[in-house]
Structures are given as C-alpha cells and as structure tokens.
Structure 1
C-alpha cells in the first residue's frame, strides 16, 4: 500500500511507501517518471511536480497506479485536493449547460448589489449573467461595449455572495488607468489598488501586504517576472483572475507570457478572459486562451477537432458557444462610421526609389527567401522596406527600432544617394496629405489623431504640424510612462483630451492602440501607413468609435493609400482577415471592428500575406 500526499507549500506530490522507488521499475514506471515527472527521494519516497494542477495530477497518479494493480490511499490533504478537482470537472459540465441555456433564453435583468452604482445597458445584461453562471467565462465583446463594466458588475455579485474577495487583472500598462477609473464609476469610490510595478524590492514589499488591496493590476511582462509572488496571492485569497486583452497569450506554449499565465491561472477561484477578437489570424489562436480559462479541459480543442473534420465554421462556433459571450457592434447603436480611402501618388523621386527597390534589389532577395521557405527575418525586412519606401524613403536609411530591421544596404550608388539625400529632393506626399487634413480639421475646431507605424514618421509629422501653428502632442513607444514626468504618456493623452487648444495627437500605432478611449473628444483618424497586423490596426479604429458617442457624431477614418504600392495589398489583406474573423463570431459587422494588438516586430504576417507581397512585386516588375 502506498500513500499519495500533496504539499501546497512546495506544490509537489509525494508517493510514500516501503521501496517506493521500485515503482519506477514497474510497468507504471514510464508513466510515473516521464509523463508525471516523479523522481526518487530516498528509497521510500517519490516526488513529482504538481504544476499548480494538484487535483489533476493526483487523479492521474491514482489512475496510473491503479491500472498497474498497485493499491494506494490518499492523505487528508490529497483527498481534499482531489475532491476540489472533481468539483472543477462538474463545474465545467454545469457551465456548458448554463451557457447554452442562457443563449436559448436570454435574461432581461440581473440583480446587482447596492455597492454597484452604474446602471447596466440592455446589451450588457446577458454577458454579466454569463460571467456569473459560467464558472470560467470569456467575453469577446467589441471594443467600446463596456467589457470592464461587465466584469466589475459580475465581480460585485460574486463578492457580495462571498465567493471571491479580490480581483487580479493582467493587462497592458495602458489599461491601468481605465480599470481604476471604471472601478470609481461603478462603485463610487476609489479602489484600494496595487499596480505591480517599480523596482523589485518595492514590488516585493507591496505584494507582501496584499491583504490591504482589493484590485491588483499587473502587465503580462511583469507577471512573467513575478509569477511566484502572484501565485502566493492567488493561493492565499479567493481571487477573480481577469486576463484583459487576452490575445497577448495566443502564442501559446513557449511564449513567456502564456507560460506565466498558464502557471498561475489554476490557482484563481474564477477566471475571465477579455478581448474584442480572440482569433486575429487563425482559429488556433483561441487554444492558449481557453487553456488558461479551463486548464486541462480546453473546450477550444474539441471545437477545433470538429472544425477539422468537415471544415464547417458553424460546428466550431456551436461547440464553443457556451463558454463565451459577445456584444456585437451593431448592438451598441453607435453612429455610422465613414471610411475615406485617399489615393496618394508618390512624388517623382519617391516613385523612382520604389521602382528601383522592386525591380533591381528585391527579386534577388525573393529568390533567397523562396529557397529558405520564406525565412522569418528576411520576409519581415522585405515587407517593412516596401512599406517604408511607400511611406517615407528616408526610413530606409535608418535602423527601425519598432520592427527591429537594420538599415537597407542599397546595391547601387544611385539608389544609395537617392535614399541618403531624399529629404533634399522632396517631402513624402503621404505625410503632406496627412498634415493638410489635420490642419483643415483644426481650422474647423476638430481634433484628429494621425497614426503611423514608424517612430521617425511620427516625429516628422509632429514637427510639421507644430510648424504649421497647430498645437499637438506626440506619443510613441519611447514616450515615458513614468508618472513622475510631466511629459509621460498618460499626461500627454490627458492634455489632448482636455486642452481645447491641442488639436492633433500624433502617435505610433502600438503606443496607444489598446485600452484608450478618445471618442468623446476626437472623431477623425488619419492613417499614414498600416502593416499586415490587423489587430493593431483595428484596435486603433475603436479608439474613436465607442459607447458614449453623440448620436450625430461624424466618425471618419482617412486611409492614405500609396497608388500602385504595397499599401493597396495591405488594405485588401486586412479586409480578408476581418471577413474570416467575423465568420467565427457570427457577426454582421464590417472591417472596422478588430481589436487584437501584438508586438510590431513579430508582424503577424502569414503565408498568404507573403504570397500577396510576391504577387504585388511580380505585377509591379512586369509593368
């Protein structure tokens, strides 16, 4: 007889008994050592990692030994943990039933405790009930629908009934202020909030006093650094864990952020994932997100299996439907959005640079790429150089920090000189058009935001706008987030939103793509350039089209497209990705609703994107 025990302090499972190490030589030995990770500790003890999933590991250990005909008994701790695991399995089944029933018979009301002051909108009622009745739930509502309010409403109910006592939010740094402000709006009081930031010693002291705080705010990157300390908080207090902008972990196993979340998620009493579009490029993007939502039971895997059998997206959606709620854009009753596509012909010198790049340099690069199966770094450089040439050729001569692409080595003196001296010949037409639009809007007393992917472009645009006599602010990835600085990111955004004389915000897309609302002050966005990263682009679109807009607001997107350049290919590919995305979510909304940011340097360019680039080059070269 062998005893199975669990030590929560070390998060390890023990098998005790006379000559326990001999189990590794039995027919269960391979499963114990290779699959479950048990190692001998003396002759009478085996130790294995629980990996924050002790109930599942104990169940697997009991099953492995039982199938080998080996008798076992459980310690009191192991019995309790196994019982919790069985409860978890039942919770999954009951959540599936509850989720389906909710959508078959949508609720018309939800009872909120007196502590919650904000009145829910009609379209928020079902998602809030879903967050309550489905133990671990996803909310894929479009940006601007009030996902934070929905979560806080559910939190107020769960806290009122004593199921949880704290809320732990993992999110981009830009979401810290919105979460704090939304809490104040919902509860009428400033939260006891801990922003897990600063120096390591300060963070350790703060988290050691976790009992003082109710709301915890932590970035994905910081979680990767502080996973052990966060795990202690989740073990000690019944917490609601919220993954805001959960697409950040779509890379899955091996990604530092996913690995950190995956380790601590099972420790939370309840889990919620939030994102406007969970599958930006492929259905598989859903798998890591649902794995942390339902560890070990991932309902997205079953959905993927069904989809793989017959390629029917309807089967995929139907299988996953009980576990997520989504408010569509058309339910928000927002004013219509206007997309203005503005063709911009390149200047003579810029056109010459673009032509040379396509006709003389890139075919050689393409051959190398095809030989090496479109090696990632080469294809990234290829796309970025084309976009740089179509936007502002001086970018070709600089290191691109945002994309981590080195300066272009021109194979030819004429091209080299054209790039080096381009600013002496002309100003990029797209930059001139962008500034002209912003200037005209400022004269009409309208604020606007100019978006670009390149820091150098942003700096040049900002200077040009300022030189024209228009007050502006500049926010890029290098803008400090230090609250002690007067020119920090949040202060600059506050200036743009509150200072009537500040008419233009110039920004790089990743700098403020997420969790920032500009819709009350700004109704015009100007896009100088875009990449194939549909998530980053679509996230920015919803900064100015959200709940709270006046019904007569004229929301406009000015898309600058270089004529006969890669801009046109990017535009087509982005529209296609949106079509695929909204088939999954059964939405009838158009291109303007995706909400999936990512690291610019990774690009999110799939093989179809690269094929489209090659086709653009072939057509351009044949002209």
Structure 2
C-alpha cells in the first residue's frame, strides 16, 4: 500500500489575509464563502500561534457533528505543515468524551450539542485558551443553551475564531449573538434589544408580539462598517476559479388522484388559516403537509406515512440511469423520503451518509448513490472528490441549508461541472420553493409570503364565485 503523501499548502492571497487577521485579532470572524478553505486557513493560524509564537497551548473546535467526526482530523492529515498536530475528538458517550478529554492533544474537537456538558464538566478548570466555532451561525440564538454555555467561559478564552459562510442566514438580527461572543457587545450593543432599536424598526405584529424586524435605511451598511475591523467577509466567485454550475429543473406531473388530494389538503388548511393570523407555525404546517404530498407520501395522525404516488421516485431513477454509473448525491427532506428511496432504488445499492467511513467511501468513488439530509451534510463536509451530480428529491425553504448542501460538491477542488437537479411537482408549492431559492429569499419570509399569496388567491376565487 502506497503511503498517503501530504500536500504542500500554498495559500491564496485571501487566505493569507484571513490568516493575518486571526493572528492580529484575538477575537475575529472569518465569514468566507463555502469552499474557500476556512479549515486549513484556521489550522495554519493555529500552527503559527501554538508553535511559533507560543500564544496558545490548547485549542477547542466546536463544530456540527459530521464535521467534528471527520473534517478537522482529515484536514490536519492532508497538509504537510499540519499533519503533526494531534487531534482528540470529544464525541460519543460520556465515558468516551471523558477519555478524549484526558488525551494529550493540540486540538480537541467536539460537536456543538456537547458544549454545555463540557463547560459544566470543566467548570473553573476550563483550560482551552483558544476556541474555534465552526459554523458560527449555529450560535445565532442568544437564548440557546450552547450560546449561554460559551458566554460563561468567555473570560477564560484568549482567542476566539468564528467560521461561517452564512453569518446571517435568515436576517441580520442573527448577527448580534455571534458578534457578542467576539466582542461582548462593543460593536453592535450590549443587548440584542439595543441592537434592534438602533438598526431595525418593528414590522408585522399581533398585539404586543412583533413577528419581524425591518432594517432601517442605511442600517445594513452601518452594521457591516461596525464589524469590518474584526470580521473578514469574502465570496468565492470573487477569488476562486469555480467549476461551472448547471441548474436543472425536472418537472413531474402528479397523478390525477394525488392532484385531487393535494387540492383538498390545501383547501382544508387554507380555510383553517382564513380564521387566524398567518404566522410561521401555521404556514409551516401547511407547507410541510403539501411538500410531503409532492414528494409522494404523507404522515398521518399516528406518525405513520401513507404512500400517495411514486412520480418523484421514478424521476430520480431516470436521473441515476442517465448518469451512466457516475456517482449521484441525493438530498431528501423527510424520513419517509429516505425509506422510500432506499426501497425503490434497491438495485442501485444506495447508501446513507452516516459517518467518516461513508464520507471516505464516497470520496474514494466507491458509492454510486449517496443519500443525505441537508441538515446533516450541509456544513463543512468535503465531498467534491466523490462526484459532481446533485439531486434535490425534496426541497427546503432554508436558503442556508440549500447553499451549504450544494457547496459539498460545488466548491474549490471540484474538477468537473456540477449538475444540480431539482425534481419539482408542477402546479404545487414545489415551484414556489424553487422560485424563492432562485431569488435568494430567505426561509421563513419566503414561506410566509408564499402561503399568504396562496390564501389571497383562494379568497379572490371565492369572491368571484359569489
């Protein structure tokens, strides 16, 4: 067996700039687009700080589970100047986490769900002098346990780096908690309310409850200016030679019976919404039910799924057949999507993205069809070596998940054109989701807009009939 030969790292100009920012600023944000090498950029800075400048001695990386399991350890092994770094993964059962914590290492990696446990476990003995938060946007909720836990140990952290390609996936309100972790409110305000009052105006409300906040005129530019000294923001298309991206919509017709069921379900839920405010919860219920039916199955009141049609399954099989043996990465939305795809595509031997072994197998070209949920494969995983064809079996309202998931293949290092297929049921909410994603409208706002527009259409039809 030929031993793995590490790669000599030659930094792009933007990576040099980002590395210098980490070295100069004890607390900083690297808001680099997907595929721009945030991990190796940070690892290079860690080597400099730990072994040349002797500024830090113990680094903690907080990341999504799949990234914690695979990406950081694999990246250290990949590059010549980082392969000597020892990585310990604080994952698994409490006993496994304890053992990993006791190991001698340079970098300790844990998933974000474990940060509360880790802070409680170490207490006043917290000794990580540098913390890297991979996918900083997952700390956008200042009321979450993970945010509160990390805030508790901020005084003990000399250096903190926040990494993300999407710092404000839904709204610029998401930015405040992340910046607070960097500067304790120095730039955007000591409290989220101060931030809201300074840069936003109340939008839609129900009584005293405000559903959305709208940016004041000039606020976006002012926010960016306030944070520009410690946050580096760069887009891939401005700096990299990216592969060609081909977006393809494959329209399917629902069978007659499924069309009737879709219309009845929509009418039933729309009528229900007529007598109440259309808020995120009610819109999400309607959206979920209709999108499930578009995909071919729907959950009943007992949590079991009822199959409605197989049109999307047949379209997916056609795509795989036409790919002539080239690997295909399939993103699904619901658990019943996964179960039905696994069964329907049995002859193609589909596999699920589960752990670092399944990632390696895919990247080694040994997996023909790989199934992944965008929430579990959406951040930080490098899958570009395994293929260049993506299929969206079921669509998501989340622009962040959509962009991050596509960036698993559409990224630096991809040597083929990336084809992204979207299987869309004609005349349904599927089309609204594709339109929203294409217009770069964001999650909840796009969902509410689509549901309200449809509700207005139904009301107009009823008025005409009268």
TM superposition score normalised by structure 1: 0.65
Q: How does 1:174-323 map to 2 (within 5 A)?
A: 174-176=66-68, 177-186=70-79, 187-207=81-101, 209=102, 212-232=104-124, 234=126, 236=127, 239-252=129-142, 254-299=143-188, 305=198, 310-323=217-230
Q: Residue 572 of structure 1: CA displacement?
A: 2.5
For residue 366 of structure 1, what is the aligned residue in structure 2? Answer: 273
Change over 3 Å in CA distance of 1:618–1:355 after alignment to 2: farther
The structure with the greater share of residues assigned to helix is 1
On the 8 A contact 1:455/1:508 being kept in 2, the answer is: no
**1:83-102 Cα distance to aligned partner (Å, 9 max, x none):** xxxxxxxxxxxxxxxxxxxx
Aligned to 2:204: none
2:64 is aligned to 172
Q: Indicate whether 1:528 and 2:393 are aligned.
A: yes
Distance 2:23 2:40 in 1: 14
Give, in whole Å, the separation in 2 of the partners of 1:354 and 1:231. 54
In the TM superposition, structure 1's runs of 4+ consecutive aligned residues that sit over 4 Å from their partners are 230-233, 300-304, 306-309
State the structure with more CA Rg.
Answer: 1
C-alpha spacing 1:543/1:230, structure 2 compared with 1 (3 Å): farther
CA shift digits 1:401-440 (9 cap, x unpaired): xxxxx57xxxxxxxxxxx95x55xxx33122112210121
The answer for the alignment partner of 2:30 in structure 1 is 139
Contact in 1 for aligned 2:187/2:226 (Cα 8 Å): no
Given candidates 332, 339, 359, the residue that maps to 1:493 is 359
* Equivalence for 1:385: 289
Deviation at 1:199, TM superposition (A): 3.1
1:516 touches 1:543 (CA, 8 Å); kept in 2?
yes
Q: Answer yes or no: is 1:539 the counterpart of 2:417.
A: no
| Residue 605 (1) aligns with residue 447 (2) | no
Indicate the residue corresponding to 1:548 in structure 2.
Answer: 413
What secondary structure does 1:170 align onto?
Answer: strand
Give, in angstroms, the shift of residue 306 of structure 1. 5.3
Partner of 2:379: 514
Tell me by how many angstroms 1:495 deviates: 2.4
Q: CA deviation at 1:244?
A: 0.5
| Distance in 2 of aligned mates of 1:619 and 1:364 | 12
Paired with 1:306 and 1:451, the residues of 2 have a C-alpha distance of 37
Answer whether contact 1:139 1:272 (CA < 8 A) is retained. yes
1:325 aligns with 2:211: no
Distance in 2 between the 1:183 and 1:576 partners? Answer: 37
1:328-407 to structure 2, matched below 5 A, reads 328-330=235-237, 331-359=239-267, 361-370=268-277, 374=279, 377-392=281-296, 394-397=297-300
Q: Any unmatched runs of 5+ in structure 1?
A: 1-115, 400-405, 408-418, 476-487, 581-603
Q: Give yes or no for contact 1:266–1:292 (8 Å, CA) kept in 2.
A: no
Partner residue, 2:212: none
How many residue pairs align between the two structures?
Answer: 434
Equivalent residue of 1:326, what SS? strand
What is the RMSD computed on CA atoms of the aligned residues? Answer: 2.7
The separation in 2 between residues aligned to 1:233 and 1:149, in whole angstroms, is 29
Change (3 A) 1:205 1:389: closer
Deviation at 1:397, TM superposition (A): 2.7
Could you tell me whether the CA contact under 8 Å between 2:287 and 2:447 is conserved in 1? no
- Offset, 1:521: 1.8
Q: Deviations over 1:206-240 (max 9, x none)?
A: 43x36x22111111111112213345554x35x22
